[in-house]
Amino acid sequence: MNSRRQFLTKASALSVGAAGSVLATPAIVKAQTAIKWRFQTYAGAALGEHVTKPIIDAINAAAKGELEIELFFADQIVPTGELFRALQAGTIDAIHSDDDSMASPAEVATFGGYFPLATKQILDVPVLFKQYGLADIWKSAYEKVGGVVWLSSSGQDPCHFNTKKPITSLKDLDGLRLYTFPTAGRFLSQFGVVPVTIPYEDAQVAVQTGELDGMAWSGITEDYTVGWADVTEHFLTNNISGAWIGSFFVNEKKWAELPEHLKSLVMTAIEAGNNYRNQWYWGGEAKLRATGTKLKLTSIPQEEWKAVEDAAKVFWKEMAQQGETAAKIISIFEEYNAVLTKAGPPYTNG
């Protein structure tokens, strides 16, 4: 009788275990079915290798098949100016871009990219977002728009001019046809610059054919990395912005469907990428100014450049009239720059 009881007990346990395995099978299959995203960056292939691809590679490696992201470079799925709408519609699942050039309808749009003289250098951007409240403003702005989730913003290179002819005075800007960002172009037009909007990958050829006189789009690191230093001859050390403000965005539905552990993985990879760009750009700007052989450095005297700085203050006041959010952002820029000025070197030049 005891042997019979032991047999029945073991048989029952085996049956329950088998049933449990059968019931668990769908969950296992689901975990092994990868979530697939299509991701487009504002950057071309050469630049994307540094500013976006390391993040995507890190996510794909760490996700171990649970999340697979396919990376597309500038304009490969849609033109950069259509990135926001494509993301909102679900044509693309996630993007890396600035609000300005992707034609975002959010209240913060004009402050992405290169907002004239708002920053001095790359670290200003994470400080502004994490210590001065811009992160909350950006998050709220995209919640109002709907369909898109803002994930993170970071700084990159300053906005200088690389051109065919040397620039040593403000009058040299007059008539220059430059590839630049919408808001930066709007600001520069008062000095005679003619902003030109073309696909990113066409900019280099446009300089060679004479359609462009140069770019006001990046720092010297990008000029060398993407080949622009091969078609222009001069680099102006004065800049109209100390750092590009760019962000990572994801389709709202796709983000909601992503398990929490994968959301954490994505954010960790983005923050690691932000840190990598900090040192890549900061070191690159110094090294290539000091040792680069392709671009000759020129400068506009500070007493003359002050006219640009004064014009930026007027521009800020104009932008503050856009609404409550714009006024709040300008107030933060003013507060932060006042702190930098009072702190003195190395936060300001003097």
Query: pLDDT by residue (tens digit) across 125-150?
Result: 999 999 999 999 999 999 999 999 99
Does some domain include residue 254? yes
The pLDDT of 2-29, averaged and rounded, is 45
Query: pLDDT by residue (tens digit) across 220-247?
Result: 999 999 999 999 999 999 999 999 999 9
The pLDDT of 24-38, averaged and rounded, is 66
Backbone angles phi, psi at 349, to 5 degrees: -75, -15
**Residue 119 and residue 180 share a domain:** no
The closest of 123, 97, 234 to 172, measured between CA atoms, is 234
Q: How far apart are CA 325 and CA 314, in angstroms?
A: 18
Query: pLDDT by residue (tens digit) across 50-85?
Result: 999 999 999 999 999 999 999 999 999 999 999 999
3-class DSSP assignment, residue 219: coil
**Total domain count for the chain?**
2
3-class DSSP assignment, residue 146: coil
**Residue 97 and residue 46 share a domain:** yes
Does some domain include residue 27? no
- Specify which residues 215 forms β-bridges with: 162, 179
| Residues 166 and 296: beta-carbon distance below 8 Å | yes
**Residue 166 and residue 201 share a domain:** yes
The pLDDT of 248-256, averaged and rounded, is 98
Euclidean distance between the first and the last CA atom of the chain, given in angstroms as a whole number = 96
CATH of the domain at 227: 3.40.190.170
CA 24 to chain centre: 42
**Residue 140 and residue 65 share a domain:** yes
Backbone angles phi, psi at 137, to 5 degrees: -65, -45
**Residue 320 and residue 182 share a domain:** yes
260 φ/ψ sector (left φ>0, alpha ψ -120 to 50, else beta): alpha
> Are β-strands 35-41 and 67-72 bridged in parallel, bridged antiparallel, or unpaired?
parallel
**Residue 113 and residue 200 share a domain:** no
The pLDDT of 141-165, averaged and rounded, is 97
Does some domain include residue 19? no
Does some domain include residue 9? no
Residue 29 has pLDDT above 50, yes or no: no
**Residue 316 and residue 195 share a domain:** yes
* pLDDT for the residue 7: 43
**Residue 49 and residue 129 share a domain:** yes
Does some domain include residue 59? yes
Range of the domain at 307: 159-243+293-343
**Residue 147 and residue 78 share a domain:** yes
Query: pLDDT by residue (tens digit) across 102-115?
Result: 999 999 999 999 99
Does some domain include residue 348? no
Does some domain include residue 12? no
Half-sphere exposure of 104 (CA within 13 A, CB side): 31
* pLDDT for the residue 350: 56
Does some domain include residue 17? no
**Residue 144 and residue 82 share a domain:** yes
- Helix (H) or strand (E) holding 331, with range, is helix 324-343
**Residue 177 and residue 105 share a domain:** no
Residue 18 has pLDDT above 60, yes or no: no
**Residue 248 and residue 238 share a domain:** no
